[in-house]
Amino acid sequence: MLPIQLFRQNKELVLEGLKKKNFKEMDLVDTIINLDERRRALQVENDSNAAAANSAAKAISQHMVKGEKDQADVLKAQVTANKERTKQIAQDLADLENELNDTLVRLPNLPHSSVPAGKTPEENEVVRSGGDMPSLGSNNMPHWELADKYKLIDFELGNKITGSGFPVFMGQGARLQRALINYFLNFNMDAGYKEYCPPFMVNTATAYGTGQLPDKEGQMYHCTEDGFYLIPTAEVPITNIYRDVIIPETELPVKMTAYSPCFRREAGSYGKDVRGLNRVHQFDKVEIVQLSRPNESYDLLEGMVNHVEKLLQSLELPYRILRLCGGDMSFTSALTYDFEVYSAAQERWLEVSSVSNFEVFQANRMKIRYKGADGKTQLVHTLNGSSLALPRIMACLLENNQTAEGIKIPTALQPYFGKDMIS
């Protein structure tokens, strides 16, 4: 949620940022400013009434001491009227606060100045690329055929048990999943991230804190009887660990990592581009999250990008890094880098990670603050990234490493998988 001070101090900056994100309801900016002005005026009146009440109380006491009962009664009547007005102001303030908050949460985060303009993924900027492009023989197979050949994944069984988009990993496929999760977690912990194992269901306040509500409500699975949501990413529960917490400045940056299954409805997804593991409703992912001082967050973002890049390099996968344009960014992000890995059998790039800086947007919702040396508290910046999402990583590992003898396992992954080949 954007800080209200931003609207007071720099309305044009807000409008410019919303335009770059292709936000449609621009009139909400004036609505927010008007609501804030009305709220502040009421607060001034409320403070004035409180001061008048205190002054009247002293005056009544003095009149009573002097035996001036008539004068005291006049003031008492004024105090009674003042109390009624104060009650009404309190109710009006509460209503305005709710209306202002409900309007503020409809606005996305503002993009960083480095975010390119644009509306579609085709307008994202390629920052850099790396890795060697594989050269496959004429008999190469896409990952769903390889999964069937080597009995790694049963898509139809998942459809029987649950429905489309819930694959069943088995045998060496399940073993590879576990190897990837353990490798990713250890890679992150070696870089100073503390491991967590969070709940995989969250309440409304938690989903609201990281911006899934109200923006992505239709994309989450909702357990209506209990009011819980199945998480779309571990970012949601582990960032909320620090909700309503004031962090000592000496503890920043906070670095956290977690594995979780992720659940996404992905309504309307169909066709060849979502076949196999390309788009599923349940998948595994390892996440990294940082909480930082505002003046350090963009340096830390670059560090997180480099961290994910090294992880992909260790898997010996061809990749590219994109800086997302305004129209392709998430609701909550100020700057996002996407990582894509090349799928040789499908001959297309597949997104495997997003690394983002949210600045104070999430922290303002969750009231995550830190106390500086001067004793003042201010909001932290929050950052997160996939490190990594498994489905498309597995798809590319299977496709890019297929040979006539089997599927080669990258050297870094072999100690976790226990052998160098799927056969």
* Cα(318)–Cα(142) distance, integer angstroms: 17
User: What radius of gyration, in Å, describes the C-alpha atoms of the chain?
Assistant: 27
65 is in an annotated binding site: no
* Cα(152)–Cα(166) distance, integer angstroms: 14
279 is in an annotated binding site: no
> Could you give the angle at the alpha carbon of 171 between the alpha carbons of 393 and 316, nearest 5°?
25
> Could you give the angle at the alpha carbon of 96 between the alpha carbons of 90 and 100, nearest 5°?
145
- Nearest residue to 191 via CA among 286, 255, 260: 255
143 is in an annotated binding site: no
- Nearest residue to 13 via CA among 101, 107, 100: 107
* Cα(261)–Cα(390) distance, integer angstroms: 10
331 is in an annotated binding site: no
Residue pair 87/53 in contact (Cβ under 8 Å)? The answer is no
Q: In a 3-state reduction of DSSP, which class is residue 257? A: strand
Q: Which two tokens stand for residue 208?
A: 């609201």
384 is in an annotated binding site: yes
Q: Which two tokens stand for residue 121?
A: 């993924």
400 is in an annotated binding site: no
* Cα(397)–Cα(344) distance, integer angstroms: 10
Which residues partner with 357 through β-bridges? 335, 383
233 is in an annotated binding site: yes
302 is in an annotated binding site: no
351 is in an annotated binding site: yes
361 is in an annotated binding site: no
187 is in an annotated binding site: no
What is the identity of the amino acid at 359? E
222 is in an annotated binding site: no
Residue pair 85/50 in contact (Cβ under 8 Å)? The answer is no
- Nearest residue to 290 via CA among 269, 275, 305: 305
289 is in an annotated binding site: no
* Cα(197)–Cα(178) distance, integer angstroms: 15
63 is in an annotated binding site: no
* Cα(285)–Cα(349) distance, integer angstroms: 19
Residue numbering of the annotated binding site for ATP: 264-266, 280-283, 351-354
Residue numbering of the annotated binding site: 233, 264-266, 280-283, 287, 351-354, 384
Residue numbering of the annotated binding site for L-serine: 233, 264, 287, 384
